[in-house]
Amino acid sequence: MDQTYSTTFTPDRERGQHLKFEDRCSIKIYKKLGYSLRKIAEAINCSASTVMYELRRGTSKRNGDRGRNPEYSAKRGQQNYEINRSRCHKPHALDENSKFLKWVIKQVKEHHWSFDACVGYARLHELFPAEDIVCTKTLYNELWAGNLPLVPHDFPEALSRKPRKNQPRKSKRFLGKSIDERPETVSTKEEYGHWEIDTVVGHKAGHESVVLTLVEKKSDYYIAIKIPGKDAESVMAAMETLREEYGEAKFSEVFKTITADNGTEFERLSELETWGVGIYFTHPYSSWERAQNERHNRIFRRYVPKGVSIEKYSAEQILWFADEMNELPRKHLGYRTPAELFEEFLDQVYSIGKVQGNLITSGVQFEIAI
């Protein structure tokens, strides 16, 4: 007779699952009834070899020739199963006292390196024995499991993954040539000298200093300049300074093209075409068309968080932040640094030994004043 809160129906056991204590009790009963291994296996829906191994596991060894033969015990079988399961996990891949792990934690905390940058750089330069260097996925697994003295907020790029927008919105604003007219070599990154430009703000309200940022697309080299405000005059003054630093004769070779958004601070940027620089603008509301610059600005936010005034940082500090980013090894660069690749590019542009002026290699070392 059926009961309100109970039933005598036992669901069939699915093949492939581990035996439960109830299954072991059934094996014990069927064994006493004289069932063969195959009949017991059919009754509990498993293979005959599973029943055979279980009978061995739950039957104690006979001591001597006297007495009855030991019988199978479901309790003993369950205990031995649990002991075996406790030993069957994969050995822990990380040694808490390893020099590699201590080095990784230091690079993440002090220099904001990613796990992949640490692993790739260590392997490239053979900093540690190969068997001591674990893979990137293992480090992230340990992070999510809470086994490292780090927190997920130390890796902001791993916490934010936004969907990409594919359809640009229409706008009447027109500042210059569209990105659709830009040479294909810029997108394929076949050559150096193609840049993306943007500004990083602190407080959105009020007129205060901002940071002008440029990223060279092939090397990921990052330039950060503190300027007085988010306006066209400040941007043009900064570009004039860059022209003086890199030399008027070679400026158009270092900066072949620059891609900007449609912000009002870039409304005079097309004037740089008189210097031999190709200026192109993305579609309105399509920041994903300057993906590299957006990505690097997010890394820059590790040093200058959103909502914090740029006025709190000196031009030298902004320069140091850019230096740190340019010394970060990148996987897609073969774990080389942007600073290395950009230095090689400058050596090609300027004849070694004939460089005129004091060329910058890690951003602009002073604040633009207007």
Query: Tens digit of pLDDT for each residue in 234-275?
Result: 999 999 999 999 999 999 999 999 999 988 999 999 999 999
Interval 13-34: pLDDT, tens: 677 788 999 999 999 999 989 9
Domain span at residue 38 reads 21-61+69-86
Task: Answer whether residue 172 is part of any domain.
Answer: no
State percent of the chain over pLDDT 70: 84
Question: Are 49 and 131 contained in the same domain?
Answer: no
Interval 285-326: pLDDT, tens: 888 889 999 999 999 999 999 889 999 999 999 999 999 999
CA angle (117, 119, 125) in 5-degree steps: 95
Question: Are 282 and 340 contained in the same domain?
Answer: yes
Task: Answer whether residue 359 is part of any domain.
Answer: no
Q: What is the pLDDT of residue 356?
A: 45
Give the mean model confidence (pLDDT) for residues 202-210: 79
Q: What is the pLDDT of residue 360?
A: 45
Q: Is the dihedral of CA 120, 121, 124, 130 positive or negative?
A: negative
The single-letter code of the amino acid at 206 is G
Q: What is the pLDDT of residue 365?
A: 46
Q: Is the pLDDT of residue 366 over 60?
A: no
205 close to 222: Cβ distance less than 8 angstroms: no
Question: Are 272 and 239 contained in the same domain?
Answer: yes
Model's pTM, two decimal places?
0.63
- Angle between helix 74-86 and 21-32 (nearest 10): 140
Task: Answer whether residue 361 is part of any domain.
Answer: no
Task: Answer whether residue 354 is part of any domain.
Answer: no
Question: Are 106 and 46 contained in the same domain?
Answer: no
Question: Are 214 and 269 contained in the same domain?
Answer: yes
Domain count, the chain: 3
Question: Are 36 and 118 contained in the same domain?
Answer: no
Question: Are 265 and 238 contained in the same domain?
Answer: yes
Task: Answer whether residue 357 is part of any domain.
Answer: no
d(CA 37, CA 51): 6
Question: Are 300 and 212 contained in the same domain?
Answer: yes
Task: Answer whether residue 365 is part of any domain.
Answer: no
* DSSP state for residue 355 in the 8-state scheme: -
Q: Is the pLDDT of residue 347 over 50?
A: yes
Task: Answer whether residue 120 is part of any domain.
Answer: yes
Question: Are 249 and 208 contained in the same domain?
Answer: yes
d(CA 13, CA 43): 10
Residue 313: CB atoms within 10 A of its CB come to: 19
Q: Is the pLDDT of residue 363 over 80?
A: no
Task: Answer whether residue 320 is part of any domain.
Answer: yes
Question: Are 300 and 240 contained in the same domain?
Answer: yes
Question: Are 201 and 325 contained in the same domain?
Answer: yes
Question: Are 205 and 325 contained in the same domain?
Answer: yes
Interval 152-204: pLDDT, tens: 877 776 666 555 555 545 544 567 889 999 999 898 888 999 999 999 998 77
Q: What is the pLDDT of residue 1?
A: 44
Q: What is the pLDDT of residue 352?
A: 52
Q: Average pLDDT, whole number, for the chain?
A: 84
What's the CATH code of the domain at 202? 3.30.420.10
75 alpha-carbon distance from chain centroid: 49
Nearest to 223 by CA among 191, 245, 253, 252: 245
Question: Which of 60-88 are b and which e, b meaning 16 or more Cβ less than 10 Å from the residue's Cβ?
Answer: eeeeeeeeeeeebbbebbbeebeeeeeee
Q: What is the pLDDT of residue 149?
A: 87
Give the mean model confidence (pLDDT) for residues 68-84: 88
